[in-house]
Structure 1
Amino acid sequence: MRGVRRVLHESAYALTSFLISLAAFVVVVSVLVAGAGLSVLGIGLALMALAVLMSRGFAVAERVRLRGMLGKDAPGPRYLRAREDDGVVRRVLTPLRDPQSWLDVVWSVVGLFTGTVAATLVVAWWAAVGGGLTYWYWERFLPMNEGDDTLASLIGLGEGREPEIMLNTGFGIFALVTLPWVIRAAALTHAGPARALLCGRAELQGRVDRAEGSRDAARVAESASLRRLERDIHDGPQQRLVRLAMDLGRARRQVHRDPERAGQLIEDARRQATETVAELRSLSRGIAPPLLVDRGLVAAVEEMAQGCPVPATVRADVPGELPPHVETAAYFVVAEALTNVAKHSGAGQAEVHVSMSGMGLVVEVSDDGVGGAHEGKGLGLAGLARRIEAVEGELTVSSPIGGPTLVRACVPVDRR
């Protein structure tokens, strides 16, 4: 049933393409030519701007048809708009300065050709199906005299009505079997150039917007990471180093007067130095984990899972070499997710799954905890979402109350 519905939608799209394209061609081209002929006068440029605006209206209608009748993604571009301080003349002529508007005009011409081809194919094939499969009924109304040549007799199938019925029925069956492919080809004959001319610029604008969004997200994530690192260093290692310096100063003063006391102070200083080194090593994992750099993503994730207070299993099936930014993003997804599991989930076990798919590198961290996690609940997942957005990836969190929780990130991988 779905296939029948699709064939009907594509047939309707192809048939109406000719009528709409004919109207667009007549209206847009006639007004544009009239405006070009009167361009020496002020009204000529205004008519040309009107023609461009009308072509824009037909382009909008075509994008709606692509989405509604064919189910295709047909984004609309951002058209050039007049600024608030522009004068009347500049406002009127703004459509003439917009590249996409001229692509709409080109479509008004090209669409007539593609619409004609598409509609002709659809009409011809549906006629072949209907005429061939019903020929057995209506052939009796056709005059036929003995000795008349028919297509069946010319190709050696025999003379008379029966061979002709068999031949035309065969044509009808062939047309019915090939109908879905021919109708699809007819629809794409019109839809392909339509998407290229009417949506190509919009897709480019979308990619630019995503790139700018990724850049902004990277700046925000980097700024937040630096602020957090600065705060952590100030609250942890810096305070320990200050105390270490004070202990060593007191030990130096006590070394001759009270060697035992000095030895105790030196031992305290040694312990402070050891703890400071450990804390600095922990903070360095937020910048560039050494194990990730030296041995790759799988080894770093397995070590992280082993150190998680909640038992965590790792399933990883990834290539040996991935771009550094992809590995780093995946590492931080696992790190933040396991941190949340240990602190907030109340889970008994967790699972980390890292794999490749057609979309890129997929990282999934699940647990059987109490649920209730979401990006807006704290800075951890929100910052992680910005970090993933910075590499043009996508982060989703599924965590209903009562659990389970699934954190999933998909990071595109460009192997060029």
Structure 2
Amino acid sequence: MTDALVTSPPAPRPAMRWLRDTGYALAALPVALVALVVVIALVASGLGLSVVVGGVFVLVVGVYAARGFAHVERRRLAALSGRAVPEPAYLRARAGDGFWRRSLTPLRDPQSWLDVVWSLVGWITAVVSFCVAITWWATALGGLSYWFWERFIPRDGSDAQSLADLIGLGESRTADVGLVSSIGVAALVTLPFALRFAAVVHASLASVLLTSRAELQGRVARVEESRESAHRAEADSLRRLERDIHDGPQQRLIRLGMDLGRARVQLAQDPATAARTLDAAVAQTREAVEELRALSRGIAPPLLVDRGLAAAVGEMADGQPIPVRVTADLPPELPLAVETAAYFVAAEALTNVVKHSGADRADVALEAVGGRLRVTVVDNGRGGAAAVPGHGLAGLRERLAGVDGALVVVSPQGGPTRLRAEVPLR
């Protein structure tokens, strides 16, 4: 299973950008004028008739109409930017609400009134965008083609002066064509900037009124999901740790107690047998210590706090049964939550490599790239790793979600396996 990291959409080609900006700016005025006429008529009628029952329903219809125009504008914003635009979560009536409360729910939604405000004021920036776009295109196209259609302009009469003549460049056709063509070239050169300005003027107001609240709702939802993911990951880790302690060191310590009790009884009767029992107890002690040391790798070690992530991962790598090379390119200080998450990623990944991959070597790379801490673990094993619910990789994904991180696992059959995790440096 592979999860793609969140990346920005590729920048469009200049010609595509021109077309998007032109289409957005030229269509802004017709859409805004229709929205203005429809919404202002319905909302004004609804407010004026609000003293009677029917006026309230007309006002609700006006709010729904504003929602529709807002939806159209969000689709236009998505086409302009080339990426998805957040949709607001409109207030919905609950199952037990009565007729009046259900009918008036749109009037209690703040986003609905932001949509109304957009429908009433959007025409202002739409006029600016439309005028800038149409002026620059007309100037560029008209100026560059002036050499052709200039011959059809009537020159009769004393007032038939050319632009070149008016500013003192002479009455010749060459001066006139040269001046107007130069203006067309200047307009063509500045056309991308003018179109970008025209699109941004209108899109900025639309983004503030129509998507900013949706973005805030999305951030709140992501924070809540991250918190839930962190809680789930922590609960899973505690359950796994409890199970591992019960199945491993606890059983060995119980056997160790039994061996020591048996040795005490044997010591007076058969010292040789007691000595062998004590040797077995010593072996059990060593194995219990090794298992506890292995379990401690799943808990943030003191070395992580004292000397940082690179040293902690290096020590953990030294304790693996296979050679592990660690490379680190990190800033001097990292947030403890980021270091802890990265350490758990490296620990869980190396545990999976040792247990399941059949690899005889692995590489761990720690680096800070673009405001994110990247952990990459590569092994030369058999591949086929998958994020199965309840297992290591799924737990890693939950833990990373708790810190707004992301996980990518590329593990074709036959190997190699490449795991990459990214955690924001915040």
User: TM-score, normalised to structure 1's length?
Assistant: 0.92
Contact map agreement 2:35 2:119 (CA 8 A) in 1:
yes
Matched, 1:57 2:78: no
CA contact (8 A) 1:74 1:195 kept: no
Alignment of 1:342 onto 2:354: yes
Quote how far apart the aligned CAs of 1:286 are.
1.3
Residues 385/185 of structure 1: CA separation in 2 closer, same or farther (3 Å cut): same
Q: Does the Cα contact within 8 Å between 2:297 and 2:347 map onto a contact in 1?
A: no
Quote the offset at 1:63 in angstroms: 1.2
Extract unaligned runs of 5+ from structure 1.
none
Kindly indicate whether residue 295 of structure 2 is the aligned counterpart of residue 293 of structure 1.
Answer: no
Structure 2 counterpart of 1:178:
190
Query: Matches of 1:346 and 1:269 in 2, distance apart?
Result: 32
Q: Does residue 89 of structure 2 align to residue 96 of structure 1? A: no
1:38 partnered with 2:49: yes
Q: How does 1:301-380 map to 2 (within 5 A)?
A: 301-376=313-388, 379-380=391-392
Residue 132 (structure 1) aligns with: 143
| Corresponding residue SS for 2:104 | helix
Asked whether the 8 Å contact 1:62–1:194 carries over to 2, the reply is: yes
CA contact (8 A) 1:52 1:105 kept: yes
Kindly indicate whether structure 1 or structure 2 has the higher relative contact order, using CA contacts under 8 Å at least 6 residues apart.
2
Superposed, which structure 2 residues align to 1:244-255 within 5 Å? 244-253=256-265
Residue type at the aligned position of 1:113 = I
Q: Which amino acid aligns with 1:92?
A: S
Match of 1:243 in 2: 255
SS of 2:409's partner is strand
Residue 421 of structure 2 is matched in structure 1 by 409
Asked whether the 8 Å contact 2:163–2:176 carries over to 1, the reply is yes
Distance in 2 (CA, whole Å) between partners of 1:282 and 1:348 is 19
CA shift digits 1:41-64 (9 cap, x unpaired): 111211111111000001111111
The alignment partner of 1:376 has SS state of: coil
Amino acid at match of 2:27: T
Specify whether residues 377 and 344 from structure 1 end up closer, same or farther in structure 2 by C-alpha distance, changes over 3 A only.
Answer: farther
Query: Normalising to structure 2: TM-score of the pair?
Result: 0.90
Across the aligned residues of Structure 1 and Structure 2, the Cα RMSD in angstroms comes to: 2.3
Separation (CA, whole Å) in 2 of partners of 1:388 and 1:291: 21
Shift of 1:254: 5.4
Residue aligned with 2:119, SS: helix
Moved more, 82-91 or 374-383: 374-383
TM-superposed deviation, 1:404: 2.4
Post-superposition CA distance 1:11-34 (Å, at most 9, x none):
111111100010001101111011
The number of aligned residues is 414
- Residues 251 and 371 of structure 1: CA distance in aligned 2, closer, same or farther (over 3 Å): closer
Who is 2:179 aligned against? 167
**Which AA in structure 2 matches 1:406?**
R
Q: Secondary structure at the match of 2:171?
A: coil
Q: Confirm or deny: 8 A CA contact 1:244 1:273 kept in the other structure.
A: yes
What is the deviation of 1:224?
1.0
- Aligned partners of 1:10 and 1:70 also within 8 Å: no
1:236-256 deviation per Cα after TM superposition (whole angstroms, max 9, x unaligned): 222222233334444555566
SS in 2 for 1:353: strand
Identity of aligned residues (%): 56
CA displacement, residues 79-109 of structure 1 (integer Å, 9 cap, x when unaligned): 1111122111111111000111111111112
Letter of the 2:323 counterpart: P
Match of 2:240 among 208, 228, 236: 228
The alpha carbon displacement at 1:267 in A equals 5.0
Cα distance in 1 for residues equivalent to 2:73 and 2:253: 68
Name the counterpart of 1:123: 134
* Kept in 2: contact 1:329–1:387 (CA 8 A): yes
Deviates more, 1:94-103 or 1:321-330: 321-330
CA–CA separation in structure 2 for the residues paired with 1:265 and 1:370? 41
What's the CA shift for 1:259? 5.9
Alpha-carbon distance in 1 for matches of 2:89, 2:162: 59
Match status 1:112 vs 2:101:
no
Letter in 2 for 1:208: V
* Alpha carbons 2:387, 2:393 under 8 Å: kept: yes
| CA shift for structure 1 position 322 | 0.8
1: distance between equivalents of 2:266 and 2:118? 90
> What whole-Å deviation, never above 9, does each CA across 1:115-143 have from its counterpart, x for those lacking one?
11111110000010111111112222223
Q: CA deviation at 1:350?
A: 2.5
How big is each residue's C-alpha offset from its partner over 1:154-176, in whole Å with a ceiling of 9 and x where there is no partner? 44433332212111101100111
Measured against aligned partners, the alpha-carbon deviations of 1:288-335 in whole angstroms (never above 9, x if no partner) come to 223322221112222333333343322221112111111111112112
Secondary structure, counterpart of 2:425 in structure 1:
coil
Contact 2:300 2:343 in 1 (8 A): no
Residues of 2 paired with 1:341 and 1:261: CA distance? 41
- Work out the CA distance in 2 between the residues paired with 1:130 and 1:109: 33
Q: Name the CA shift for 1:186/1:49 in 2 (closer, same or farther; >3 Å).
A: same
Whole-angstrom distance in 2 between the partners of 1:259 and 1:348 = 44
Partner Cα distance (2:174, 2:138) in 1: 21
